[in-house]
Structures are given as C-alpha cells and as structure tokens.
Amino acid sequence: MLKLLISLMFVIPLCFINQGWWMVQSILFFMVFMFMLMNMTGPFFMGLSYFMGYDALSYGLILLSLWICALMITASESVSRSNNQSGFFLLMILLLLGFLVCTFSSMNLFLFYLFFESSLVPTLFLILGWGYQPERLQAGVYLLFYTLLASLPLLIGVFYLQSSQLSLFMPMNMKTDLCGMLVYLSLVMAFLVKMPMFLVHLWLPKAHVEAPVSGSMILAGVLLKLGGYGLLRVFSVLTKSGLSFNFIWVSVSLVGGALVSLICLRQTDLKALIAYSSVAHMGIVLGGLMTMSYWGFSGSFTLMIAHGLCSSGLFCLANISYERTGSRSLLINRGLMNFMPSMTLWWFLLSSTNMAAPPSLNLVSEIGLLNSLVGWTWVSMVMLSLVSFFSAAYTLYLYSYSQHGKFYAGLYACAGGYVREYLLLFLHWVPLNLLILKSEPCMLWL
C-alpha cells in the first residue's frame, strides 16, 4: 500500500516543472500497470490478503480510481494548453487520488470515515477553480452541505461501534450485529447521500453541470462508488437491522430510478442528461445492494465498476462536443454526424454500453441485479421493467437527438477529433467490454 502512496507523493513536485503535464500522466499510467501486475501474477489474486482492505472489492475500486485519474489528465488538456493554473490542477488530481486509495484500502472504520470525507475537498476545489459558469459556487455549496450534513451522524455511529465493540478493525467486526433504528440510520445515511439515492440526489446534477470535464469524470467514475463501497462494508455490522429496514430504501430507489429516467427524457443539457442517468443507474445498484443477497452484492459491485467507466466516457464525449461548438445544449449539438462523423461511432459504442448492450460489463451486472431484486420480491418487476425500458429510451434520445437531425445553421464546418481524444475514448470503452471475459473476480470476491 505504501508503495502506491509514496510514489504518488514523489510525483507531486513534477506537477510544477515545465512540460510536467504529460510526464505526470505517463507516470500514472505506469502505476496502473504496475498495480495490475502486483497482484495478478498468481491465480485468483493471491497477493491481496490484508494488503488492500482484505478483498478484491477494494482492489477493483483502487484500480478504477487510478485509471480514471490518469484519463482525467488526458481529457483536461485544455487546462494545460491555456495554462490555467495547470500545476495546481495536477496537484488536486494527485491529492484526490491519494485520498481515494487511502479510503478504499483503510481497514479501520474511523480512518475510512476520515478519508471518505477528505476526498470532498479536492473535488470542491476542482469544481470551484476550473468550472465553467458562475453557478459553480452554488453547486459547490450543495455538494459540501448535502454530504457533510449526512456524514456527521456516521461519525457518531462509528464511535458508538467503537464503544460497544472496542474495535473498529473491519474484519474483527464481522460477527457483530448492531440493532436499533438510530444506529442503522446514522451508519447508512451518509452513504445513501453519496450514492446518491433518489430524494437526496439534487447535489449531483448541479455539481456535474458546473464541474470541468475532469470533475465530472471523477464524480461519476469514483466518488459515487464511495457510497456503495461504504454500504458493502457497513452491512457486515448491520445484518439484522438491515433485514428489518432495507425494504424502504429498495422501494425508494426503484421508484426513484423510474422517475429520474422520465426526468432524463426531457433534459436539453447533455451533461445534465448523463448526470441524471447516473442517478437512475445508482438506484438499481442501491436496490440490489439492499436485498443483501449474494447476487445483489456482486451485481452492485460489478455495476459500480461498469458505470464508472461508461459514464466517465460519456462525459468525455459531451466535453469534446462542448469544446467544438461552445455549448452543451442539445438544440445546438444536433446533427453531430455531419460535424464530427468520426465521433459518432464512439457516441454509439458508449451509448450502447450505457443501456447494457451485450458485450459490456453493464449487462452482466444488470442481470445479477435483476436476479437479486426479483428473487427478493416479484413486485419489484414492475418498476424494474420501467427502469430498463426508460433507460434504453433516454439513451436512444441522447444518441439520436445529438447525432441525427438537421445541423445547427450557425456552424458551417467539419471537425475531426484529436488522437488524444480517440485514445481517451478507446481506453474507456475497451476495459468495459473486455472485463466481461474475466468476470469471476466481480462475482467471487465475497
């Protein structure tokens, strides 16, 4: 673990040297491959053990964090080109990455809480410092207050666990079972807001729309997964009370998923549409997770990884269009097939993975989640069918409305993408569709 953190620490001075941008990016990619090789030499991740929060769950999410952070630097080349405080920008990304690695690999619940909260600060700086519109201040305040307000009870819950069990070491608490409505709420609420569950999701679209592309990528790619990860960890302590109260969250998240999908169908802002679709996807993740079944846990973990890559790629695409046309409105970004014909393929590939088309990891995970929810109660089939139908509907709306149709007359031009952009999209899409060939770690990590 220390290898990763120390190498990240030594990369920090490189942020501020001349031409350090691509050097930092290359080192991050190198770290990703070293990290992959570190534990994949033996069969079934033999090297993990207590090195990484004791299972493949942390391993997958740390790998996702490293990958997304390396791609964030690739996507934000405009910061380097305009020399908009690029040194500090890289510093924020590295700090955020350090906090995320610590969050996913800490085995003490209090340390987990500490890093869980501190990952907010660099994200807030990314939104406030490199966002687009003046409303980013309001978005930052929303992000801060929603998350902080819900996670103060978590701190009290963690200390209560400490006083009753005399230990916060996660594997030692496996056999405990806390009962009581208040303890349950205090330990679960922070993660529900972070997921975000429907009804406490308002901070997410605001933060996404105002954030720069890197902020959106890390928000959709990794920060939403902190909620799911926290729930997966906390439920080892809350089994009994979970069986009593979880039906509330399942129903809220399924009904919310259907409603948010309807909201998606009338969005005109590209980024807002993708942000709301994240809420709908995380609703299914939350529903499956709350059933507390084996299928639900493994399906939710897999969908967290898949959604991280998929929505991050879609935000990159929205940003590529935004850099060319200067607008994120679907009314102006029409008929992009005429304007950027080579990007249409990537829009198609990433939109199809967003609606869980066959070769993608989304498909495996959604099958697992449908299985767990329908097995939990067949009544959930009604809402699940609506969510599945509408998610296909809004993805088709996003794709067809932006690619087809009459082109906006103010732009008579044709633009190709940079090699950097094609590489960026390729690196989002390939792991998403190749991981399905190696899906055992996703299903057998428990």
pLDDT number for residue 48: 66
pLDDT number for residue 439: 81
Reading the block at residue 305, the tokens are 């990884």
Give which of 293, 196, 194, 255 is closest to 390, Cα–Cα: 255
Residue in the structure block whose two tokens are 């970004």? 333
pLDDT tens digits for range 195-222: 999 999 999 999 999 999 999 999 999 9
Percent of the chain with pLDDT over 70: 95
Give which of 86, 89, 108, 109 is closest to 97, Cα–Cα: 89
Each domain of the chain, given as residue ranges in start order, spans 1-443
pLDDT number for residue 2: 82
Least trusted range by pLDDT, from 175-184, 194-203, 232-241, 425-434? 175-184
Say whether 197 sits in a helix, a strand or coil: coil
In Å, how far are 7, 302, 357, 371, 375 from 367, measured between CA atoms?
39, 11, 11, 6, 12
Reading the block at residue 209, the tokens are 């729309």
pLDDT number for residue 199: 93
pLDDT number for residue 272: 94
pLDDT number for residue 220: 93
Is residue 83 predicted with pLDDT exceeding 90? no
Is residue 78 predicted with pLDDT exceeding 90? no
Is residue 317 predicted with pLDDT exceeding 90? yes
Say whether 169 sits in a helix, a strand or coil: strand
CA-to-CA distance for 80 and 227, rounded, in angstroms? 32
The pLDDT confidence band at residue 179, using thresholds 50, 70 and 90, is confident
pLDDT number for residue 1: 75
Percent of the chain with pLDDT over 90: 67
Reading the block at residue 35, the tokens are 């990290």
pLDDT tens digits for range 117-157: 999 999 999 999 998 888 899 999 999 999 999 999 999 99
The pLDDT confidence band at residue 331, using thresholds 50, 70 and 90, is confident
In Å, how far are 64, 307, 417, 441 from 285, measured between CA atoms?
17, 10, 34, 18
pLDDT number for residue 446: 60
